Structure 1
Amino acid sequence: MHSLCLVLNLLPLALPALASAAQPQHVLHIPPTPPPHASRPLSPALASLSVDPAFWAEFWGNATHPNLFSMRLLRNIAQRTTAPPIIRPGGVTQDSSRFLASAGAPERTTDPATGAIYRTTYGPDFYRSFGNFPEGTRVTVPLNFGNDSVEVARAQAAGAVRWVEGWAERVWAFELGNEAGNYKATQRNLSTWGPAAYVAEWKNWTSTINAVLPPPLRTRWWAGSDGITPAAVTVALQTEDLLARGIDDQTPPIVREFSQHMYAYSACKPASAALATVPNIHNHTDITAFVGLLAPKVAAARGNGSDLVVGEFNSVSCSGKENVTDIFGQALWVIDTTLYAASLNVSRVHLHQGATLVSQSNSQINVPGANGTPGFSTYNLWYPVDSPLRGRRRANPSYVSQLFLAETVGKSGTSRLVELSPPEGVSPDLFAAYAVYDGGAPVRIAVINWQTFNSTMGEAGVRATSLGLDISGLVQKKKATLKRLTAPGSDEKNADYVRWAVLVLYL
């Protein structure tokens, strides 16, 4: 075992050097009080989840038979904070979904020739299943914008009010459409479709749908729900552009949060998949450059009195890439990406889960499962049921990232975050560190050593990746707990060999 990622719980500050005197050490400078650019208080639901509606039943079960495996994994996360993750049932299939009062849990209709999902139908049991989540869990309501039928979307919203028990507390927001900037010609007239057309239509639809919602729900809308960078054939629906076009100029304003999606790499086509490599993804500088595109959107949302969330994200779109997103290194990517987003005042991120959608690309590298079974995405935190393609249901190495993040945020509700500069002599590409402040002092430090190794590397190679940190300037006469997130290598695929536990207690 070798440490690749760790959290230091400082109570309030007490750690000798993290390495022996014989090992070269680098001094990590940590401001003793929160600097002016420290984040706003971290949401206990900072690390939240997104699940494509077509695969809702596999992940969560139905109203009477919840997926107890998934619920147990979710409770493990929820127990570490004061609020469970917020669940977003969203993705491509929400824009071909419909509510029928006579239907039950979500069911897929697929093209037998291609395996593409072209309809997801659900009834009251979908909304009833929201009640199976851990106490206090809030859920967004997905509405179909892509079919260009406001009646379909209105029926979905009315169904949620009718069938979600305790809707006033449980329904966090309504989301109208998924990545409308990526719509096809069969969904909108692409010669005129852009931010102005989107804003006009969004305002018209939300006004129509609000007429069937009780007053407490009429100001709980997500706006945008599009990528932070456009593909070559799409338009970009960006928070600052939508605000400039008056998307939230109603009285009272109705946008609770603006949502942007982000995937740094893609498996939708062989050429883009070739760039989705471990060296490219395991790079802190590249992570900060890409996530940094959110900064102006955060500023625009906050200037509007709203928040900016990442409603959907993962490392490699179109269901991930084997040997890249199904390994322990994916956990490190999720941690670094989430914490850097939080340092920019992104209020929450929803890590996407699902299975292969053949309709995304006719040349994507991932395929569906046999006989219509889900080809679960390799970037999933867990595989919720047994499947021909992925084998037994199980947690993946990346699942532990959610436990790490929950403990980094903590339970106070007042923690603030700062990204730390790398120590002198340490590559900024291969190092990330964050300090968490509470009560005016640092209480936790999260450190990622991106100079990783794989499981086949010899002992000398492993030692070469080690990094010694000296924070002895913070030593006081109290205690600190050191926890390490460890695995035999960054390429480890078996979650049984991933450990997140206390290593040393310094007194």
Structure 2
Amino acid sequence: MKTRTPSAFGLAICAGWLGVVASFSTNESVILLEVPQRAPQHASRILHPAFTSLSVDPAFWMEFFGNSSHPNKLSFQLIKHIADRTGVSPWIRPGGVTQYSSLFDAKFGEPVREVSAAGGIYRTTYGVDYFKSFSNFAPSTKFTVTLNLGNDTLGIALDQAKAAYRYLKASQIWTFELGNEPGNYKATQRNLSTWGADAYVKQWQNWTDAIDAAVPLKQPRWWGGSDGTTDDPNTVAIQTDLITSRSFQYSSCRPASNARAIVPNIMNHTNITSFVDILRSKIAAANSVGSDFVVGEFNSVSCSGKVNITDTFGQALWVSLEHCNFILTLLELTSRLEALDTSLYSASLNVSRVYLHQGATLVFQSDNQENIPGANGTPGFSSYNLWYPRDSELRGRARANPSYVSQLMLSEIVGKSRASQIVHLSPPANLSADQFAAYGIYEYKKLTKLALINFSIFNKTNASGDAPGIRVYIGGSGSRASRLKRMTAPGLDEKNTDLVTWAGQTYTNGSADGRLKLEPVINNTVWVRDSEAVLIDL
């Protein structure tokens, strides 16, 4: 068994409830939403300050982060805004499909892609300068060092691991990850008639043993792919300190899935929670042997997103809710499995960290994908990216995307206390669970914030007269000191980042532009327009 580091989880005790009253502007019937004033037993584990982290396809590392002497200013500005709110920089995983064909060569410097005229990436080769660029990140940044399993050559993975150990500080290496999505390997990579969980686990164990022997880290950590777990929550094939999964709700590479990637489906709280439920058995399997479960790569629509869907403000609302549901995915199980100890599920069945994926179109990923690269094989940056790191013919100028503000709201939910827990608040029976989500945030077991998300669709093109929304009465939880921050845009379909704000400020060019807007909570009542989210600091 690989070395695992035990963790202690804080559990809270339920003590009292707070009534919150909500009403739709089109229907004045009063709706009561109960909020515990003290964190209940089924509250999440204490949130890690780097809970919201980033995965970036290694072939596009230079575009996103630059080199040691010329870092990408936009990327590091946007990352710093997140770190300023949590006290810790997002952790970074340079991983993805191009991990299959990456290799280290000491004769090289910066990463070099071998690309076809159509934009297909055959190989990404990197040298010492790749590791030197890691020095541009804040000291609080931890890295997942990804190793090539796809080429089926142990020497390649060994060279990558030994180079990371030689050129990085040991404190920078959080974990090694061997292989990316081994369950998706093609016939050119493995004999598919014999390749499965058992074969993968055997190879993974043999290779990691060999790498451990060659790389003398004091406490080597390994991510085991979720392909090494079974659907039986009582069994797990890979026993390691971390199990990782990939999660994309839809795919623009699969025509049937791409057809379902439409606004009403994506902007649906019930669909999102049902999607996250898929992970439950794997998380249970990982935790049955004391392992944490990490979502190492996720986003809304795989294969680089879907234009006019994932590059709009709606993606910000999806990301906000998806992060919260990854935190809570197994905590909600307790209401259905009352025989099991709620506190045990809260402690042991939890997602530890999520890495929101960033990248560009990969031509070899599928013959059916909707997205295309840029001219002459240049990167066609994924429309689900939080930002476009460089100017490009396909995506225009380098800039933050509308979804970026979601990371600011999420980072303020996590905060700096290192004591934050989150509770998903079930909507009342007469309020649609599809269109409304509410979360209580607790620090030191006390209710400190409320996050409200209104998923009802409101497009800027349909705006006429008063905008519809929800009016929420927060009862005795509010005070004269309570303030509200609003994540908003003219509509769900807004693509102009200059019009997308968090607390009145925009972040298009990396800096916070505009005056910070902290709204007072008058008469303990807040308004949440359709297609909008708010965070109330109590």
On whether the aligned pair clears a TM of 0.5, the verdict is yes
What amino acid sits opposite 2:153 in the alignment?
S
Alignment of 1:91-110 (within 5 A): 91-110=96-115
* 1:469 corresponds to which of 469, 472, 483: 472
Q: Deviations over 1:201-242 (max 9, x none)?
A: 000000011112123242x10001x5xxxxxxxxx5436669
Q: Relative CO higher for 1 or 2, CA cutoff 8 Å, sep ≥ 6?
A: 1
More displaced 10-residue stretch of structure 1: 207-216 or 364-373 = 207-216
Matched, 1:163 2:167: yes
Is contact 1:173-1:256 (8 Å) kept?
no
Q: Which residue of 2 aligns with 1:127?
A: 131
Counterpart-to-counterpart distance in 1, 2:289 and 2:419: 23
Residue matched to 1:232: none
Distance in structure 2 (CA, Å) of the matches to 1:338 and 1:402? 10
TM-score where L is the length of structure 1: 0.89
After the TM superposition, list the runs of 4 or more consecutive aligned residues in structure 1 that deviate by more than 4 angstroms.
13-23, 239-243
Partner of 1:5 in structure 2?
Answer: none
How far did residue 274 of structure 1 move? 1.3
Give 1:299 deviation, angstroms. 2.4
* Secondary structure class of the residue paired with 2:482: strand
Matching residue of 1:244: 235
Alpha-carbon distance between aligned partners in 1 of 2:91 and 2:113, rounded to the nearest angstrom:
24
Q: What's the RMSD between the two structures over aligned residues?
A: 2.2
For 1:296, give the aligned amino acid: S
CA distance in 2, matches of 1:457, 1:22: 17
Residue 106 (structure 1) shift:
1.1
Gaps of 5+ in 2: 1-16, 330-349, 504-516, 523-538
CA separation in 1, counterparts of 2:373 and 2:39? 48
Match of residue 505 from structure 1: 520
Contact map agreement 2:235 2:285 (CA 8 A) in 1: no
2:157 alignment partner in structure 1: 153
Give per-residue Cα distances to partners, 1:439-494, cap 9 Å, x unaligned.
2221111110001200111334x53x31111221434x552111110100000001
Contact 1:239 1:297 in 2 (8 A): yes
Partner of 2:394: helix, strand, or coil? coil
* Counterpart Cα distance in 1 of 2:218 and 2:165: 11
Identity rate of aligned residues, in percent? 54
Give CA-to-partner distance per residue, 1:308-363, whole Å, 9 cap, x none.
11000110011000110000000000000000111232111111000000001112
| Residue 485 (str. 1) matches residue 487 (str. 2) | yes
Aligned equivalents of 1:136, 1:370: Cα separation in 2? 37
Amino acid corresponding to residue 171 of structure 1 in structure 2: I
Cα deviation, 1:179-216, whole Å, max 9, x if unaligned, reads: 00000111111101111101100000000111121232
Q: What stretches of structure 1 of length at least 5 have no aligned partner? A: 1-12, 227-235, 249-254
State the distance in 2 between where 1:243 and 1:122 align. Answer: 41
Deviation at 1:20, TM superposition (A): 11
| Aligned residue pair count | 472
Write the letter of the residue equivalent to 1:159.
A
Structure 2 equivalent of residue 89 of structure 1: 94
Q: How does 1:339-488 map to 2 (within 5 A)?
A: 339-344=324-329, 345-460=350-465, 463=467, 465-475=468-478, 479-488=481-490
Evaluate the alpha carbon distance shift between residue 246 and residue 286 of structure 1 in structure 2; reply closer, same or farther with a 3 A threshold: closer
- 2:174 corresponds to: 172
Aligned partner of 2:39 among 11, 34, 40: 34
1:32, distance to aligned residue in structure 2 (A): 1.5
Question: Are the aligned partners of 2:229 and 2:236 in contact in 1 as well (CA < 8 Å)?
Answer: no
Among 166, 182, 185, the residue aligned to 2:184: 182
**Change beyond 3 A, Cα 1:313–1:410:** same
Q: Secondary structure at the match of 2:461?
A: coil
C-alpha deviation, 1:305, in angstroms: 1.9
> Does the alignment pair 1:137 with 2:141?
yes
- TM-score norm. by structure 2 comes to 0.84
Letter in 1 for 2:160: Q
Q: Secondary structure at the match of 1:90?
A: coil
Q: Secondary structure at the match of 1:101?
A: coil
Are 1:422 and 1:433, in contact at CA under 8 Å, matched by a contact in 2? yes
